[in-house]
Amino acid sequence: MIVTQPLPILREPTARHPAKLLMVVIAFGLLYGAVMGSYELRNDRLLQVMFSACKVPLLLLCTFSIALPSYFVLNTLLGLRDDFADVLRTMIQAQAVFTIVLASLSPFVIVWYASGVEYPLAIVFNGVLFFISTLASQMALIRLYRPLVTRNENHRRALKFWIVIYSFVGIQIAWTMRPFIGAPELPVRFFREGAWSNAYLEVLHIIGQAMGR
């Protein structure tokens, strides 16, 4: 079932059961996560594969549930409350598209790792694939929103807000949930010590250092 699910999800804005879509998000997220964690695979790093596999669906579901309440309020304010069931289904479907695209890109990660790249390049490559999948899912989201937008123009405004808040939350959660790949010389951990910092302040700090020089 899991294998045949993705095909119609990609093509059609279908009224699917959200629980099934969630299964797709979890299954394909696990798949990509496992591949992502297989960098420098050794016996003592098998645990990292499992950790990374769990982290990808967790990352998506956490970001989604944190961003959702404010989106619900915004929809209500814009007078779109009656459509919210459709909106929610659309959002979950976009998440499913994201994980399917990500999983379909996972063979590239295997080739990339097999070429014996350095750890920073492995991170960058995974970042690029996440970026591509995000673009693809945004594209799908905009298409899925088309019937809603024809019903009420305000949906387009709401969608813009969603994209901003979702990326804002997602970046911070991804930062908190490091390491996704795990530096080969460090011991395998689910969370990195001292991970509870702020991604945006970190970036500011790095820019500050660069300017100071």
Partner 1 sequence: MILWVRQLDQLLRGRLTTQEQLDEKGVDVSSPGLALVLILLGGIYGVCMGTFAVAGSGSGQSMQLLASAIKVPSLFFLTLLVTLPSLYVFNALVGSRLTFTPFLRLMISATAITMAVLASLGTIVAFFSFTTTSYPFVILLNVATFSLAGMLGLRFLLQTLRKLRVGEASTIPAVSEERLPPVQPISDEQLSELTSELKDSASATRYVRQQPSPADRVRKVFVIWIIIYGAVGAQMGWILRPFIGSPTQPFSWFRPRGSNFFEAVWSVITHLSR
Asked if 69 is part of the footprint of partner 1 (rule: CB under 8 A), the reply reads: no
Distance CA 88, CA 94 (A): 10
Applying CB under 8 A, the span of 14-22, 43-51, 80-88, 132-140 interacting with partner 1 comes to: 132-140
Can you tell me which of 36, 59, 80, 100 binds partner 1, judged by CB under 8 A? 100
Asked if 105 is part of the footprint of partner 1 (rule: CB under 8 A), the reply reads: yes
Query: 92 is written with which tokens?
Result: 């979950």
- Specify the DSSP element, H or E, that contains 176: helix 154-176
CB nearer to partner 1: give 28 or 51.
Answer: 28
Asked if 160 is part of the footprint of partner 1 (rule: CB under 8 A), the reply reads: no
Asked if 141 is part of the footprint of partner 1 (rule: CB under 8 A), the reply reads: no
Asked if 15 is part of the footprint of partner 1 (rule: CB under 8 A), the reply reads: no
Applying CB under 8 A, the span of 13-21, 98-106, 175-183, 204-212 interacting with partner 1 comes to: 98-106
What distance, in Å, lies between the first and last C-alpha atoms of the chain?
57
Residue labelled with tokens 């961003």: 67
User: Do 93 and 9 contact (CB within 8 A), yes or no?
Assistant: yes
Q: What is the SS3 assignment for 50?
A: helix
Applying CB under 8 A, the span of 33-41, 51-59, 86-94, 139-147 interacting with partner 1 comes to: 139-147
- Distances 59 to 7, 99, 211 between C-alpha atoms, Å: 24, 11, 32
CB nearer to partner 1: give 10 or 68.
Answer: 10
Asked if 114 is part of the footprint of partner 1 (rule: CB under 8 A), the reply reads: yes
User: Do 129 and 105 contact (CB within 8 A), yes or no?
Assistant: yes
Distance CA 26, CA 29 (A): 5
Asked if 97 is part of the footprint of partner 1 (rule: CB under 8 A), the reply reads: yes
Binding stretches for partner 1 (CB under 8 A): 6-7, 10-11, 97, 100-101, 103-108, 110-111, 114-116, 136, 139-140, 146, 149-150
